Amino acid sequence: MSVVSPEGFAAAGGHVGIKAGSQPDCAIVACTTDAPAAAAAVFTTNLAAAAPVCVSRAHLAATGGRARAVVVTSGNANAATGRSGAAGAAALCDAVASACSVAPDEVLVAQTGLIGVPFDFAGLAPAVRSLCAGVGSTDAHGDAAARAILTTDSGPKTYAGAYGGFRVGAMAKGAAMLAPNLATMLAVLTTDAECAPGLLSMLLRDAVATTFNRIDVDGATSTNDTVVVLASGLAGPASPELLGLALTEACASLARQMVEDAEGATRTAAVSVQGAANDHQAHTAARAVASSLLVKCSLNGADPYWGRVVAELGASGVAFDLEKVSVRYGGIAVCVGGEGVGHDAAAVAAHLAGRHVELTCDLGVGPGQGSVLCCDLGPGYLDENRTTS
């Protein structure tokens, strides 16, 4: 049931006129309680932040972390669109606020699509208000919302889980421009747990740090990345530890779905580094391997070219001793002590031919561990991105 699984939420998705034809291009997630929900968000670190990011930041600051609705549109990122773009994002919030009889700053907004294309809101308000009037809490409503936010995704990305008295639901989109400090992605999470905005913000940031910030498709950081969580409180207080675990599990599921659905991807690879000087260096080294275009090409060709992996580890800037490095594919060592070793080539080939690959590196210099989830790079990605998309 995704975002409508927890108590106190309704959703809708449909066409408001941003995309051509009748393609779904707008989703609404609304809190149905008398009081606004506790709200928190994590946004892109890109300094070219899109208008909706700036508007949502301002609204969260104005309300002290409270919101009644989130509106998400697809088809136009409304990024690098100047003052008119900011006015359009604000007008979108105004239309939702009017339809839901709430204050404009109680509405958060996220948008996705092409960058640098003017966002003309004129004429869209009636359709947006009509969509708001049709929100509901059925599976169909949740599915329609999840489908309305997609761009190059092959299908919706959703999550729902129960945790000892409360529930967490979520929907997301993202299939490219996935890199550290979020990914080219939008995500809306809901929970019926009761949680103060400040604590909710901390828990969300912790969840994002170990999930969305641990994936890589193409090394690009988007202008629009947004993760929002709303807490209705209808299930009563929850243990911070359990709520944090629930948010992390939801984000981890969405993050994996994004990498699995990456543009043109044929393989998903879990790159793990152990034996680093510390966890931070382990993650840095894993990121270097996971984001390497040469390693990604090797994954696409199912080629166990460990030399490229070692080269990326050595260039990553972490503590490194070539004579202590080892590399394994699917648990099978192909490099030990910085040199190639005899191994079961057929077993390695069989592992690399599968949809999911495990690439493990040991630096042999300390206790640090870290991992990044990535995918291969092949013709499908180039076909999607060699022109404006």
The token duo for 225 is 């990345």
Q: Which CATH architecture has domain 268-385?
A: Roll (3.10)
pLDDT in tens, the chain (389 residues): 799 999 999 999 999 999 999 999 999 999 999 999 999 999 998 899 999 999 999 999 999 999 999 999 999 999 999 999 999 999 999 999 999 999 999 999 999 998 999 999 999 999 999 999 999 999 999 999 999 999 888 899 999 999 989 999 999 998 654 444 544 589 999 999 999 999 999 999 999 999 998 888 766 677 899 999 999 999 999 999 999 999 999 999 999 998 888 777 889 999 999 999 999 999 999 999 999 999 999 999 999 999 999 999 999 999 999 999 999 999 999 999 999 999 999 999 999 999 999 999 999 999 999 999 999 987 767 766 666 65
**Cα 81 to Cα 223: distance, rounded to the nearest angstrom:** 12
C-alpha pair distances (Å), 261 with each of 172, 210, 255, 376, 379:
12, 19, 10, 11, 15
Instruction: Supply the residues annotated as catalytic.
Output: 184
pTM: 0.91
Do the two domains 2-260 and 268-385 of this chain adopt the same fold?
A: no
Fold entry, domain 2-260? L-amino peptidase D-ALA esterase/amidase (3.60.70)
DSSP output for 205-222? HHHHHTTGGGEESSS---
- Domains of the chain, by residue range, sit at 2-260, 268-385
